[in-house]
């Protein structure tokens, strides 16, 4: 299999779907001629023309509103919000229109729409370029929420998202766009060398939404993570020497509860890790689900490791992230409880 960065894998997914289905259209701010701020759509306009890959005005509300109308009439828009931090003007269109269209029309209309958003920190973007708003979407009935952690998953999940008949929020951890890192918050991210690139299948392949992946088998404790934090958790488990099982959720809604339940019942302990703020973060929902389904198997309280409950601190970005040291302490805490 060829090796690609996450950016290349995402571009390949859109290319594959545009070649297979003339109803797939790609658009957003600077998405057409320029290829997007991160170059995820580079070359698609030249290949498919300005009617299928095009630039829009700087209006997130307008981008998603137009996409909802297109989706209702049979097109399959895959739109880009330049940063997840910019999605708030479009939130009403996502929640009030896209998520509800199937239900308020009694199935007469559907909304096969994908909204791609670079999410999370890692580029010193500060408060307006580094937020992780996944919990704002998982709270809404009628939309799916996906967060890949590697290039192959990014391609397979994006293809599934575009083929899905309902709206999907596709959050792309920008810290992983150009390569892996060692998981430490105090070390800079370096681009992947070619031998480190993720192996990604050529052509069309889909990873079903709602399927988690066990990234590291273990017996002592279960770590639930997604996106960037999967890699940080792997570093924490390796450096601490703790036999942790790491589950990459991949899809937050729908959620693979069977895989989570089987792992926690086996280990008896659970640590939940995410980059977003702690209070009302998606980890709280995971905690409630694990508590409900695995109560009699838990040997210790569930522990959450998350971002600070503060506006995103530009100057302290690497301390704000849950790093290997913080996760390692949480692993020890739950093992000693």
pLDDT in tens, 147-159: 999 999 999 999 9
Same domain as 162, residue 232: no
Report if residue 249 sits inside a domain: yes
Rounded alpha-carbon distances, angstroms, from residue 235 to 181, 183, 232, 325: 10, 6, 5, 9
Q: What is the mean pLDDT of residues 310-333?
A: 85
According to DSSP, residue 82 is labeled S
From 199, 224, 253, the end of a domain falls on 199
From 138, 170, 199, the end of a domain falls on 199
pLDDT of residue 129: 86
When pLDDT is cut at 50, 70 and 90, the band that residue 63 belongs to is: very high
From 147, 176, 199, the end of a domain falls on 199
Tokens standing for residue 53: 């890959």
Q: What is the mean pLDDT of residues 72-90?
A: 97
pLDDT over threshold 90, residue 262 = yes
Same domain as 239, residue 179: no
Query: How many domains does one find in the chain?
Result: 2
When pLDDT is cut at 50, 70 and 90, the band that residue 65 belongs to is: very high
pLDDT over threshold 60, residue 191 = no
pLDDT over threshold 70, residue 117 = yes
Tokens standing for residue 227: 């996106």
pTM recorded for the entire structure: 0.94
Residues ≥6 apart with Cβ < 8 Å to 63: 27, 28, 29, 56, 79, 81, 90
Instruction: Determine the Cα–Cα distance for residues 238 and 57; give it in Å rounded to an integer.
Output: 46
Q: Outline where DSSP puts E strands in the chain.
A: 3-4, 24-28, 53-55, 76-80, 114-119, 144-146, 168-173, 198-199, 213-216, 221-225, 244-248, 251-253, 270-277, 303-307
Same domain as 227, residue 146: no
When pLDDT is cut at 50, 70 and 90, the band that residue 187 belongs to is: very low
Report if residue 47 sits inside a domain: yes
In this structure, is the dihedral angle defined by the CA atoms of residues 46, 176, 203 and 117, taken in order, positive or negative? negative
pLDDT greater at residue 316 or residue 117? 117
Instruction: Determine the Cα–Cα distance for residues 289 and 30; give it in Å rounded to an integer.
Output: 40
Report if residue 115 sits inside a domain: yes
pLDDT over threshold 50, residue 194 = no
Same domain as 107, residue 25: yes
pLDDT of residue 162: 98
pLDDT of residue 270: 98
Task: Give the Cα-Cα-Cα angle 199, 187, 189 (nearest 5 degrees).
Answer: 35
Same domain as 148, residue 249: no
* Domain carrying residue 192: 3-199
Tokens standing for residue 217: 């088998």
Same domain as 77, residue 28: yes
Report if residue 20 sits inside a domain: yes
Tokens standing for residue 14: 């859109």
Same domain as 233, residue 104: no
Same domain as 219, residue 182: no
pLDDT over threshold 90, residue 315 = no
What is the pLDDT of the chain when averaged over all its residues?
92
pLDDT over threshold 50, residue 188 = no
Q: Is 283 in a helix, a strand, or coil?
A: helix
Same domain as 171, residue 226: no
Q: Which of 30-34, 48-52, 177-181, 193-197 has the lowest mean pLDDT?
A: 193-197
Same domain as 191, residue 249: no
Tokens standing for residue 158: 């994006």
Instruction: Determine the Cα–Cα distance for residues 107 and 104; give it in Å rounded to an integer.
Output: 8
Report if residue 205 sits inside a domain: no
Which positions are catalytic?
Answer: 129
Same domain as 267, residue 185: no
Same domain as 12, residue 124: yes
């Amino acid at each position: 299999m060829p090796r690609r960065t996450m950016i290349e894998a995402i571009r390949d997914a859109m290319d594959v779907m545009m070649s297979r289905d003339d109803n797939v259209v790609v658009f957003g701010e600077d998405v057409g001629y320029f290829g997007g701020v991160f170059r995820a759509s580079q070359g698609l306009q030249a290949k498919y023309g300005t009617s299928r890959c095009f630039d829009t005005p700087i209006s997130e509300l307008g981008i998603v509103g137009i996409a909802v109308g297109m989706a209702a009439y049979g097109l399959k828009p895959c739109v880009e919000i330049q940063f997840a931090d910019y999605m708030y003007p479009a939130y009403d269109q996502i929640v009030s229109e896209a998520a509800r269209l199937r239900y308020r029309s009694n199935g007469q209309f559907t909304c096969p729409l994908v909204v791609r958003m670079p999410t999370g920190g890692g580029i010193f973007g500060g408060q307006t370029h580094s937020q992780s708003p996944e919990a704002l979407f998982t709270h809404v009935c009628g939309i799916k929420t996906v967060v890949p952690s590697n290039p192959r998953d990014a391609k397979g999940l994006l293809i599934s998202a575009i083929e899905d008949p309902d709206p999907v929020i596709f959050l792309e951890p920008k810290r992983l766009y150009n390569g892996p890192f060692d998981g430490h918050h105090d070390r800079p991210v370096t681009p992947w060398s070619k031998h480190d690139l993720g192996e990604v299948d050529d052509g069309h392949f889909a990873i079903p939404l709602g399927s988690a992946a066990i990234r590291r088998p273990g017996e002592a404790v279960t770590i639930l993570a997604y996106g960037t934090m999967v890699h940080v958790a792997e570093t924490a488990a390796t450096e601490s020497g703790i036999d942790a099982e790491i589950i990459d959720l991949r899809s937050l809604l729908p959620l693979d509860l069977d895989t989570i339940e089987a792992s926690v019942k086996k280990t008896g302990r659970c640590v939940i890790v995410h980059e977003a703020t702690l209070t009302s973060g998606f980890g709280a929902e995971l905690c409630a689900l694990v508590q409900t389904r695995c109560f009699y198997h838990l040997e210790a309280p569930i522990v959450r490791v998350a971002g600070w409950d503060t506006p995103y601190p530009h100057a302290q970005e690497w301390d704000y992230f849950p790093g290997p040291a913080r996760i390692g302490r949480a692993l020890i805490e739950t093992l000693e409880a």
